Amino acid sequence: MNITVYLGASRIKDREMLEALVRLGYWIGESGHTLVYGGSSSGLMGLLAGLVIDSGGKVIGVEPESFVAMEYQRDDLDELIVTKNISERRSKMIELGDAFIAFPGGTGTLEEISEVISLVSLNELHKPCIIYNYEGFYEGLRDLLNKMIEKNLCTEEKLYNVCFLDTLEDIKNIIDEYNEKRTMD
């Protein structure tokens, strides 16, 4: 499967969060999945790509041409897709993904996963949208979505495929279930 992971290009000092990212990267690579990500060589993005590569997995980076001009991309990817801009990058990452994971990140990560949530809620995307709620990172987003349901601005049914998961084990289970169903269809 192509697993699109949204996360930041920033460096962090949170040791446990880094360890969670290491486990995610090794699992993607060792499971034979392909990582689809933003293409950057820096921060969490670059680390995740390196982990997947080191564990034998394939990596597809999707990087806007302005970032390539600044040489932000990794050069050891299986494939680097260069887009005209960030908007085209988001669309391409969605097009390539079989499942989507938002690891803790910044405003760009929020923007990217919000688009996936919107497509899922509009019934235009029928794939798992996983919010990796590591140490409660995305509780505010979960509260906001619940408030939308409470105020009848959205329904639970529309958000059925949006999963807030706290552990890699939970993520593996959702991905495995979806992959089994997908291969049967």
Q: Look at residue 39 and tell me if it is in a domain.
A: yes
CATH number, domain with residue 40 = 3.40.50.450
pLDDT at 126 over 90: yes
Render pLDDT for 82-112 as a digit per residue (tens, 0 to 9).
Answer: 999 999 999 999 999 999 999 999 999 999 9
The pLDDT assigned to 68 comes to 78
Q: Look at residue 110 and tell me if it is in a domain.
A: yes
What one-character-per-residue DSSP string does 31-100 give? Answer: TT-EEEE--BSSHHHHHHHHHHHHTT-EEEEEEEHHHHHTT-B-SS-SEEEEESSHHHHHHHHHHH-SEE
Q: Look at residue 169 and tell me if it is in a domain.
A: yes
Query: Considering only CA atoms, which of 71, 79, 55, 61 is closest in space to residue 7?
Result: 61
Query: What is the chain's mean pLDDT, rounded?
Result: 94
Render pLDDT for 19-75 as a digit per residue (tens, 0 to 9).
Answer: 999 999 999 999 999 999 999 988 999 999 999 999 999 999 999 998 877 777 888
Domain count, the chain: 1
Q: Look at residue 183 and tell me if it is in a domain.
A: no
Q: Write the burial class of residue 22 (CB in 10 Å: 0-12 exposed, 13-18 middle, 19+ buried).
A: middle
Q: Look at residue 152 and tell me if it is in a domain.
A: yes
Domain enclosing residue 111, as ranges: 2-178
